[in-house]
Structure 1
C-alpha cells in the first residue's frame, strides 16, 4: 500500500498526470499503474518519491490518510500520547508492548484499523487536540486536557481501543504467546503468525462503537473474529497433537469481553491460575481411556469365554 500512497501523493504534489510522473521518474507509465495497484517499490525509487513529496521519513500512508505531512505529525503525536495514557492504566500485570511502539508502526496500524471500520478522519487535525501533551503545570490543566481528549470522538475512540488492547494483549501473553514461540509446534510462517500483529484490530472489536462514526464496524468485527477463530484453532490443534496442555480456552480471545480477558490475564500474572488445566486436557484423557478399553475389552472377554451372546444392560449405567 505504500507504493499506492507514494504515487497519489506525488501526483498531488506535482499537479500532474501519471504519464508526466513516469517521465519525471524515468519509468514507463505502465510501471506507475503497477505501483498504484500496490506493486513493490524499491528503496531507491522510494527515496525519489520522498524527495518529490517532501515528507522526510514519515509514513506515506499516514500523510495520504491524514491529508498532509503536518496532519500526519499531529496525529502521530496524539496517538503516542494516547498510547502512553492507556499503558499507564493497564492492570493485567503485563506490559502492553504494542503501545510502547518500539517499531514505530502503532500510528499506521491504528489508522488502518479505523479506516477498515469506516472511520473518516477530519480534513484538518482537531484544533482542540493541538496542545502540549507533556504539560503538567497543574491538575486543573491536566483535567482540562483529559476532558478534551474524552470529548473528541476520534481521540476517545482510539483511547478506548488502546484500553481494550491492554486486556487483549495481556491474555495473549499469558496464554497464547508461548505456543507461537514453541519451535516444536512449527507455527512460524503459518496463518498463526498473524495473531500478534493484528491484536489492535481484535481489541477494536471489543468496544462499543458509534455506527455513524464507524459505519463498517459490523463487517470489520465479523471479519476479524472469523480470522482469529481460524488462527487460534490452528494453535489449539497443534498443541493438542503435541500433547501440550492448555491453561485457558484460547478462543476466549475472540469470544470474551476485554474486561474478562483482563481479569484472566491478571489472575495468571499473580499465579492464581498457575495450576489450572483446560477441560480439553481432561476430555482427551477420557477419550484415550475409552479407546484403550475399546481395544482391550474384546480380548479379555474372549479369554474369559463370555464374548459370545453377551448383551450390555445400559440401564445399570445410568445415574440413579
Structure 2
C-alpha cells in the first residue's frame, strides 16, 4: 500500500482544531509537509518583545472559526530554512497570511497580485501542490515557501498586529487601489466589526475624514471616542442618511449580513465608489439609475498580494495601527 506524502515526509505538529460547527477547540496531532529547498519552518511558542507567540491570531478570528475563517493570520519565529532560502534566516520574526503558494507564472502572479491567481494555495483547508494538506496556523509550527513569508516590523506587536494579515490588508488594499488614501478624502466605513474597525484606523492614518455607518446606536461611542472617526450615522435613520447625501468620495462596506446598499450609494459624490468587502448570503440589489446619475461605481476587493501586504505591515508599524484583540489561553 502506497504511503501518503504526509507519511513519507513526516514533520509532526501539535495544535488545536474545531471538529464541528460548535467552534470548540480540542488538541490534535498531524503531519506537516517536508521542508523543501525554498521553504521556511516557522515556530510559535515562546517569549519575545514581551508578547506570547500566537498559534492563532486573536479572539476576532477564533470567533469566526465555525465559518472556517481562522488560522490564516500567523506570526512566529523562523526555526529552520531550506538550503536555497535567501530572504530569511533562523531567528527572524515573520508572518504568514491567507496564502502559502500560487502558480508564480500567470498574469496576476507576475503583477504581484497573487490573491487573484486561479491556482493559489490558501493557508488552510486546501491541498498543497505536492498533494499534502494545508492545515493553517493553529499549531506549534508550520511550513511555507519564503515568497509567502512576510518580514515582521520591529515596532509592530505580535498579538494585536497578527490580524492585520487579513483584516489589515483587506481594508488597506481598496483604500489604496481606489484612490481613497489621500489626505482630506471623505471615506465611509459600513460596519464596525473586525474589518470595519481596522478600516477606520487605516483611513484615518491616510488622513481621510471618516464616517461610520452602523445599524447599532451603541457603536457611536466606540466609533467617535475610541477610533476617532469624524462622523457616525445610523443607517436605518432616514433623516441622518438624507443629510449625508452626496458627501462621500468612497465607501468601504465590510458587512457580511444582508443589507440594502441603495441608500449608501446616495451618500456618494459623483464618481464615488462603493467597495464591497463583505459577502452577504443574498445578492445586493442595485438600481441602474443610482449608478448612472453620478457615474458611480460598485466594486469588490479582497486581500492584496505579497508585495502590498508587506507595504501594509510597514505602514501599520509606522502609524501605530493594530487590531483590537483579546488574548485567550
TM range (shorter): under 0.3
Question: Which structure is higher in helix share?
Answer: 1
TM-score between both structures, scaled by the size of structure 1:
0.26
Larger radius of gyration: 1
